[in-house]
């Protein structure tokens, strides 16, 4: 592997920026230091801290750096790691990308930064684990898939259900015809998300690099609602809850049905409940039409009860019965038979799978590869575009990368990055 050689060279000659002077020992990382991948986590909110713990515990990997535009979050995340004094803290992800001693990065920033950071990392020779949704728009997903292939890098998408043994077994059962012909899958996002109120414009918190946080997004004044976590509900940074929680269910539904881009989709939705700073819908129904099946996404963010037994879950409807995948596991209900649970051998999970694929230098080993993640993210973006434009239907051509007969929808397939924050790879 080229990058191993380069790292050995850097270690031997002392060239390059060495983020951590000596390797440190973390639980589970039982390979000798020279064989461990040096990993950095970018974006240290709740998810970034989970990833830091996951990568620190993975075999054959050590977390050597954490990065956040918010130095308080960076320090708090470093502190949680074993031997934290040796974990480098960066405020600017571009320094992480430049650091040739770092082999792999995971990205858990706000969505509008996912693809720009991932592309810069890939182009600079790093392997990437990027949180869902991997893109902020449809075209970015295509670019990520292309770049991963062109630079031959492992790019894993943070849809962790793809590494779940029970779900893999249930989907295989369905693929083998266990449910008969499956003509519909429902992706359910049915939960209560409280209103966020209206936040006034203020100065950003001291020490925070807010301009870097905005990055490719348009320059706007700071408000506490546009900041940590609630950015999900603004189109400049997030993709609403369809691209947040919903993408997990859309991905499982698509995986189970074995489908990609739809022939056509219909969508409607809006705000029936929120009367606050939210830009994204609280209610949404999107139907993706394929040659011989439908994938329906149904979202309500104002309910404290379940839909078909799920807050977040999937139901596959076949002519022999139904299969539920959700918080209650994988439950099979064949007509005339007793309900039964499908279980399967537990795998190592997609973090360890990513490390193993990088060490084998083989992207084909990835369980949640970017080419799948990008399609699931695109479905969410297309559902959002149709909802935002209230245009009812939309037909996307993934080869020409246009929405047929709808210039406004085609415009929303990509964005103009703010000068200084252009993409490192544009095809």
Ligand X SMILES: NC(=O)c1ccc[n+]([C@@H]2O[C@H](COP(=O)([O-])OP(=O)(O)OC[C@H]3O[C@@H](n4cnc5c(N)ncnc54)[C@H](O)[C@@H]3O)[C@@H](O)[C@H]2O)c1
Task: Please report, as ranges, the residues that interact with ligand X according to CB under 6 A.
Answer: 42-48, 67-70, 73, 93, 108-111, 113, 131-132, 158, 160, 212-213, 215, 228-229, 244
**Per the omega criterion (within 30 degrees of 0), is the bond before 133 cis?**
yes
DSSP state of 225: G
Residues 6+ apart with CB under 8 A from 85: none
Distance CA 368, CA 351 (A): 10
Query: Closer to ligand X at the Cβ: 67 or 409?
Result: 67
CB of 153 to ligand X, least distance (A): 20
Q: Would you say 44 or 63 has its CB closer to ligand X?
A: 44
Q: Shortest gap between Cβ of 42 and ligand X (angstroms)? A: 5
Among 65, 51, 58, residue whose Cα is nearest residue 20: 65
* Residue closer to ligand X, measured from CB, 65 or 179: 65
Are the CB atoms for 320 and 176 separated by under 8 Å?
no
Rounded distance between C-alpha atoms, residue 238 and residue 385, angstroms: 13
Taking the C-alpha atoms of residue 349 and residue 381, their distance in angstroms, rounded to an integer, is 27
- Least distance from C-beta 90 to ligand X, angstroms? 8
- Rounded least distance, CB 151 to ligand X, Å: 21
Question: Angle 294-295-301 (CA atoms, 0-180°, nearest 5)?
Answer: 140
Pick the closer one to ligand X by CB: 113 or 255: 113
Q: Cβ distance 391 to 404 under 8 Å?
A: no
Nearest CB to ligand X, comparing residues 131 and 367: 131
Instruction: Report the distance separating Cα 71 and Cα 29, nearest Å.
Output: 27
Closer by beta carbon to ligand X, 246 or else 318: 246
Block residue for tokens 């592309």: 119
* Residue with Cβ nearer ligand X (111 or 322): 111
Strand partners for 314: 187, 325
| Least distance (Å) between residue 68 CB and ligand X | 4
**CA-to-CA distance for 210 and 124, rounded, in angstroms?**
25
* Minimum distance, C-beta of residue 94 to ligand X, in the bound complex (Å): 9
Measured CA to CA in angstroms, residue 278 lies from 106, 114, 148 at distances of 28, 21, 34
- As measured in angstroms, the least distance from the Cβ of 128 to ligand X is 14
Q: How far is the CB of 233 from ligand X (least distance, A)?
A: 12
Q: Please state whether beta strands 393-394 and 264-270 pair in parallel, antiparallel, or not at all (unpaired).
A: antiparallel
Give the CB-nearest residue to ligand X. Answer: 45
| Complex with ligand X: residue 67 or 315, whichever CB lies closer | 67
Give me the residue label for tokens 């080993």: 365
């Amino acid at each position: 592997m080229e990058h191993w050689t380069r790292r050995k060279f850097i270690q031997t000659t002392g060239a390059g920026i060495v983020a951590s002077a000596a390797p440190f020992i973390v639980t589970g990382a039982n390979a000798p230091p020279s064989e461990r991948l040096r990993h950095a986590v970018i974006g240290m909110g709740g998810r970034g801290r989970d990833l830091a713990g996951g990568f620190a515990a993975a075999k054959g990997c050590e977390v050597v750096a954490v990065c956040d535009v918010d130095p308080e979050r960076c320090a708090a995340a470093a502190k949680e790691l074993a031997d934290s004094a040796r974990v480098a803290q960066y405020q600017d992800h571009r320094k992480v990308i430049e650091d040739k001693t770092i082999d792999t990065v995971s990205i858990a920033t706000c969505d509008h930064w996912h693809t720009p950071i991932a592309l810069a990392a890939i182009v600079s020779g790093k392997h990437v684990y990027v949180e869902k949704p991997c893109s902020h728009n449809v075209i970015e997903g295509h670019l990520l898939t292309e770049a991963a292939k062109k630079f031959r890098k492992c790019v894993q998408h943070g849809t962790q259900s793809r590494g779940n043994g029970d779900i893999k077994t249930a989907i295989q059962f369905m693929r083998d015809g266990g449910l008969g012909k499956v003509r519909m899958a429902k992706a359910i996002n049915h939960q209560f998300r409280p209103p966020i109120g209206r936040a006034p414009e203020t100065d950003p918190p001291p020490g925070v690099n807010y301009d870097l946080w905005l990055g490719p997004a348009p320059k706007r004044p700071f408000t506490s609602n546009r900041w940590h976590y609630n950015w999900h509900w603004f189109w400049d940074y997030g993709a609403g809850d369809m691209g947040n929680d919903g993408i997990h269910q859309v991905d499982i539904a698509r995986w189970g049905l074995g489908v990609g881009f739809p022939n056509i989709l219909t969508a409607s939705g809006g705000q029936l409940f929120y009367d606050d700073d939210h830009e994204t819908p609280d209610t949404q129904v999107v139907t993706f039409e394929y040659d011989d099946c439908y994938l329906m996404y149904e979202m309500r963010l104002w309910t404290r009860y379940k839909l078909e037994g799920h807050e977040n879950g999937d139901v596959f409807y076949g002519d022999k019965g139904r299969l539920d995948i959700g918080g209650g596991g994988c439950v099979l209900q064949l007509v005339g038979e007793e309900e039964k649970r499908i279980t399967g051998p537990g795998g190592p999970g997609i973090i360890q799978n990513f490390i193993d694929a990088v060490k084998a230098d083989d992207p084909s080993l990835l369980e949640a590869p970017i080419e799948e993640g990008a399609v699931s993210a695109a479905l969410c973006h297309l559902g959002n575009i149709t909802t935002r434009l209230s245009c009812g239907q939309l037909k996307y051509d993934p080869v020409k990368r246009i929405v047929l007969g709808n210039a406004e929808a085609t415009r929303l397939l990509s964005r103009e990055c703010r000068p200084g924050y252009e993409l490192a790879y544009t095809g």
